[in-house]
Amino acid sequence: MTLLIDSGNTRIKLGWRHPLSGAREAAPVSLHADQLDQLAAWLQAGHAPLQDMRGHGGGAIGVNVAGPLVQAQIDAAVQSLGLGAVRWLRSEARAFGLSNGYEQPGQLGADRWAALLGLCDLLNGQASPAQAALLVSFGTATTVDLLSPVQDGERRFLGGSILPGPSLMLASLKQNTAQLPEAHGRVASFPTNTMAAISTGMAAAQAGAVLRQWEQGRRRFGTPPLVFLAGGGRALIQHELHDQLQDHCRLLGVRTPPIQELDTPTLHGLALYAGLPRA
């Protein structure tokens, strides 16, 4: 078994993949960096087959955006389990039927690249080669990334936008204003209290950023892109995004695409690498 590691700004998500059968975890394990001393216990609680990971074809593969200190802590915790050194991935110009449209492919965040690879693989099983797809991840930062339809046998990552995530937006108002709280109010058409006003403004800004990239994709390819949401902050945005997208599609006279949720697209992308023969 190969341990899969998605080290984000807030949490570390863990999965695994059998290198031959492709069998995956039933549910990912999620923990904070300060809990890495309990890694073995967390993995055992998540029914990770540690004995198989230590054997032939085992090891660990991951992406990290949490900085060198967290990466060193993960390296030490994984090596203490007898899994050897973690293979930390970087973005590439092309892999698994996806080409990277970044001006300098290596500058694309490795977590974004792995998540896009995961989505690309999922799309291959949905028989939707003629449709573009938008992957929106609501984490500490929100990323809004567009994949082209299949052209000449592959999809292309065309680029995407980055903005503060929902929780970061809410926290920034509290930290940088004298009298505004960190709000968790209801989103409303016409907010009549401060909590609702802040929550509505945040949700509208997030949904507007998504809608902008979706419209760019529709204009580019002539058909509405599919929409996929990931990340822990998506529940704060999903209803507002659905309403904005539905209203926009009604004005355009096109069918509103369903909003599909993905729990761990980055782990899915890492699993593709774990399926490759080890050099």
Where in the sequence numbering do the catalytic residues fall? Answer: 111
Taken in order 170, 209, 7, 56, the sign of the CA dihedral is positive
In what helix (H) or strand (E) does residue 167 lie, and over which residues does it extend? helix 166-176
Which residues have a Cβ under 8 Å from the Cβ of 206 and sit 6 or more positions away? 138, 142, 163, 166, 169, 236, 237, 240, 241
Query: Is 212 exposed, middle or buried, given 0-12, 13-18 or 19+ CB atoms closer than 10 A?
Result: exposed
155 HSE (CA, 13 A, CB side): 28
Q: Which residues pair with 60 in a beta bridge?
A: 3, 86
In one letter, which amino acid is 269?
G
